[in-house]
Amino acid sequence: MSKNRKQIRLYLFTHSYSGEKIVFSLKHKYKGKKLTNIIDRLSVILNFNNDDFTDYVMFDKRPNLPYRRVPKALQLYLEIEKELIKISEEKLDEYSTTTEDYQGQLLCPAIERAVGNFLTDVKNDNRFQMLMEENLKSAYYTYYKVVDKYKLPTMRTIPFLLRIIS
């Protein structure tokens, strides 16, 4: 795998819901030498550079994106992951109605929000709804295409990864 591709993978992982949840779990479950051993094991499992991955987990040091202009697919993936993080934080808020609204589903509303965020210049509600429906299928496809291309963990694989390393 080329160096540039590894940098992109690490960048996408560090800005993803999966990355946030894995790091949160590691920091709260392990301390000291045990944490360093777990980070080493996880970096091998996820095929990341150990030093870069350690910097991310221990010091929250995120890498820079090697692209000057980010491709549309990666922009969409990052927007979906950002919305996943927002929705999960909203679900933790006791005064939020997100728990009743989404009932355990996070990905569908995150994709809908991300697509809606990209359609900010549309003023007509009917046109917005039509464009939303047209772009949803391609957004699902693009999200999973990026996940597959860069071999990134998804929210469904987080529990399995955490079980492997413990």
Please report, for the chain, the start and end positions of each structural domain, with discontinuous segments joined by +: 3-65+153-165, 72-149
**Confidence (pLDDT) at 133:** 86
Distance CA 8, CA 116 (A): 25
- What is the rounded average pLDDT for all residues in the chain? 84
Q: Does 2 score more than 60 pLDDT?
A: no
CA distances from 2 to 15, 19, 106 (A): 20, 21, 32
**Confidence (pLDDT) at 161:** 83
Q: 108 with 80: CB under 8 angstroms?
A: no
**Confidence (pLDDT) at 103:** 46
Q: Does 102 score more than 50 pLDDT?
A: no
Q: 134 with 154: CB under 8 angstroms?
A: no
**pTM listed for this prediction:** 0.84
Per-residue pLDDT tens over the stretch 19-76: 998 899 888 888 889 989 989 988 888 888 889 999 999 888 988 877 778 889 999 9
Residues in Cβ contact with 48 at an 8 Å cutoff, skipping those fewer than 6 apart: 6, 9, 10, 13
CA distances from 105 to 4, 55, 101, 102, 108 (A): 33, 31, 9, 5, 7
Q: Does 122 score more than 50 pLDDT?
A: yes
Q: 74 with 12: CB under 8 angstroms?
A: yes
Distance CA 132, CA 116 (A): 7
Q: Does 95 score more than 90 pLDDT?
A: no
Quick one: average pLDDT of 119-139?
82
How confident is residue 78, by pLDDT bands cut at 50, 70 and 90? very high
Distance CA 100, CA 19 (A): 26
**Confidence (pLDDT) at 144:** 93
